[in-house]
């Protein structure tokens, strides 16, 4: 059966009646982005539904697969749209039923009528269409409770829509409707997943990554660019800000006792992220921290690290088990890149015995011996920004002519 439309349902969006137009417009634009570079479709949205009109030669399965992954989409169905004429509806019902025709299978017709002016009652329409299908396809039988197939018919104001498949969508809210956050992106497994998790709730992200060349390699930097690229494929353009962190890291190792260097390193990252977030008008930081996973992620460590900022910090993976995070990373396609063995700045400078319960006053006192404020300012001035969008990337740093 050739379907002429894909029906896109919004689900949760319906709750937000005040912002509905903004949500629908954003979702429409996100769906168009997800469909690049496919052809043969047109996205049509109205207040409570979206239809994607598809041409004869369009790859309907691929279009549906991509739409179903867009955040804010509740479910999708391939549909046949016909005029609200009983003969046309009957004909379409039979054609659709032929598609689900397997000997011995059961079916039922489920009709909904939002156009009350339509001359057939729901029950009558079900009877007529069920009878018509049985007339043309002998080895199907009707079963009202729990049939193998359901043929759904919706009589709406503009037309009649028929379908039998409902494919679950990604849920959540359309990216771009929830404000902006700054994601602290390492090359590890967790932070890309954390980024996708907040995007699922409608938030846009920019990413910040700290690197320490020559201790960290060009490959490690490329890995983070690749991870951002994968996230940008899913959820729209993402800016990646690369912070030169070498000098600060060296200074920490000169000034702070070894077992507190980790705490101090995280605090400096957080201070930079905090200042930079304000510059780009991001309203929160996001990281991939997970309670108790490693020394820097105990409650005691979080307390000492968190003390440098009063921005909200979103930790969507806080209570996940590692296996759950790995499953998600595989789903979003970042896992294979994340496990590439290029070390990031934290791995290289990891102390042998980091404090799991660092004392805030001690850390502060060691740090106060150096003018970290000035170093932080220099690091922020040296930020290189790369914008990643679907299948392409452009560089717009102050140093772009040197790259
Ligand atoms: P990940 O897999 O995201 O690296 P992890 O379990 O390895 O997480 P850590 O290395 O302790 O944990 O990092 C905790 C969080 O700190 C990361 O999820 C990330 O948000 C942030 N982070 C760590 N290193 C960097 C970095 N080099 N640049 C930016 N953010 C970082
Ligand atoms: Mg890590």
Q: What angle do CA 315, 248, 302 make, to 5 degrees?
A: 25
Query: Is 262 touching ligand 1 by the criterion CB < 6 Å?
Result: no
Residues 6+ apart with CB under 8 A from 295: 262, 301, 354, 355, 356
Q: How far is the CA of 347 from the centre of ligand 2 (A)?
A: 7
Q: Does domain 5-168 have CATH number 3.30.2130.30?
A: yes
Predicted pLDDT at 395: 41
Q: What is the pLDDT of residue 353?
A: 81
Instruction: Note the pLDDT of residue 347.
Output: 64
CA dist., res. 130 & res. 191, Å (int):
52
Helices (H) then strands (E): counts for the chain: 14, 16
In this prediction, residue 337 carries a pLDDT of 95
To the question of whether residue 130 is assigned a binding role by annotation, the answer is no
DSSP secondary structure letter of residue 210: E
210 CB near ligand 1 (under 6 Å): yes
CA gap 59, 36 in Å, rounded? 13
Where are the alpha helices (H) located in 201-356, listed in sequence order? Answer: 218-235, 246-255, 258-279, 299-306, 322-332, 335-338, 345-348
What is the helix (H) or strand (E) element at residue 306, kind and residue range? Answer: helix 299-306
| 266 annotated as a binding-site residue | yes
Give the separation between CA 119 and CA 87, rounded to whole angstroms. Answer: 13
Helices 190-200 & 218-235 angle (0-180, nearest 10): 20
Protein residue with its CA nearest to atom 22 in ligand 1:
186
Q: Which of 181, 182, 184, 294 to mutate to test the pocket of ligand 1 (most atoms within 8 A of CB)?
A: 184
189 lines ligand 1 (CB under 6 A): yes
Residue 5 assigned to a binding site: no
Residue bearing the CA closest to ligand 1, atom 18:
288
Q: What is the pLDDT of residue 356?
A: 83
CA dihedral 243, 222, 316, 50 (to 10 degrees): 120
pLDDT of 201 reads 94
User: What pTM does this model have?
Assistant: 0.87
Q: How far apart are CA 184 and CA 195, in angstroms?
A: 9
Distance (Å, rounded) from C-alpha 394 to C-alpha 386? Answer: 6
CATH for 180-402? Answer: 3.40.50.620
pLDDT for 402: 40
Q: Is 359 annotated as a binding residue?
A: no
One pLDDT digit (tens) per residue for the chain, 403 residues = 678 999 999 875 555 566 788 888 999 999 999 999 899 999 998 767 899 999 999 999 999 999 999 999 999 999 999 999 999 999 999 999 887 767 788 999 999 998 889 999 999 999 999 999 999 988 889 999 999 999 999 999 889 999 999 999 999 999 999 999 999 999 999 999 999 999 999 999 999 999 999 999 999 999 999 999 999 987 789 999 999 999 999 999 999 999 999 999 999 999 999 999 999 999 999 999 998 767 778 899 999 999 999 999 999 999 999 999 999 999 999 999 999 987 776 666 677 788 888 999 999 999 999 999 999 999 999 999 999 998 654 444 434 434 3
> Residues 145, 110: contact at Cβ < 8 Å?
no
Does ligand 1 have an atom closer than 6 angstroms to the CB of 273? no
Domain boundaries, the chain: 5-168, 180-402
């Amino acid at each position: 059966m050739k379907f002429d439309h894909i029906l896109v349902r919004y689900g949760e969006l319906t709750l937000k009646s005040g912002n509905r137009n903004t949500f629908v417009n954003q979702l429409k634009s996100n769906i168009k982005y997800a469909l690049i570079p496919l052809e043969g479709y047109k996205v049509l949205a109205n207040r409570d539904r979206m239809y994607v009109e598809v041409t004869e030669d369009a790859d309907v399965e691929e279009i549906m697969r991509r739409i179903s992954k867009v955040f804010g989409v509740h479910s999708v169905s391939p549909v046949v749209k016909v005029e609200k004429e009983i003969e046309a509806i009957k004909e379409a019902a039979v054609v659709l039923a032929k598609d689900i025709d397997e000997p011995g299978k059961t079916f039922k017709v489920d009709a909904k009528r939002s156009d009350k002016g339509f001359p057939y009652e729901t029950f009558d329409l079900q009877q007529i269409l069920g009878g018509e299908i049985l007339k043309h396809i002998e080895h199907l039988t009707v079963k009202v409770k729990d049939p193998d197939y359901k043929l759904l018919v919706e009589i709406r104001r503009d037309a009649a829509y028929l379908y039998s498949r409902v494919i679950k969508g990604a849920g959540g809210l359309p990216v771009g409707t929830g404000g902006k956050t700054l994601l602290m992106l390492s090359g590890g497994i967790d932070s890309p997943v954390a980024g996708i998790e907040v995007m699922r709730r409608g938030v846009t992200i920019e990413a910040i990554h700290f690197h320490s060349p020559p201790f960290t390699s060009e490959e490690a930097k490329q890995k983070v660019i690749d991870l951002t690229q994968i996230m940008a494929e899913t959820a729209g353009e993402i800016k990646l800000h690369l912070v030169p962190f070498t000098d600060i890291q060296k200074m920490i190792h000169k000034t702070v006792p070894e077992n507190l260097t980790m705490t101090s390193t995280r605090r400096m990252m957080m201070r930079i992220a905090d200042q930079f977030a304000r510059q780009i008008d991001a309203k929160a930081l996001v990281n991939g921290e997970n309670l108790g996973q490693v020394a820097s992620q105990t409650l005691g460590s979080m307390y000492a690290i968190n003390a440098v900022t009063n921005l909200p910090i979103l930790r969507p993976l806080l209570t996940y088990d590692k296996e759950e995070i790995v499953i998600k990373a595989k789903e979003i396609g970042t896992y294979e890149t994340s496990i590439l063995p290029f070390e990031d700045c934290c791995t290289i400078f990891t102390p042998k015995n980091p404090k799991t319960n660092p004392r805030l006053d001690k850390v502060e006192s060691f740090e106060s011996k150096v003018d970290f404020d000035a170093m932080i300012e220099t690091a922020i001035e040296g930020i290189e920004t790369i914008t990643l969008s679907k299948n392409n990337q452009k560089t717009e740093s102050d140093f772009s002519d040197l790259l």
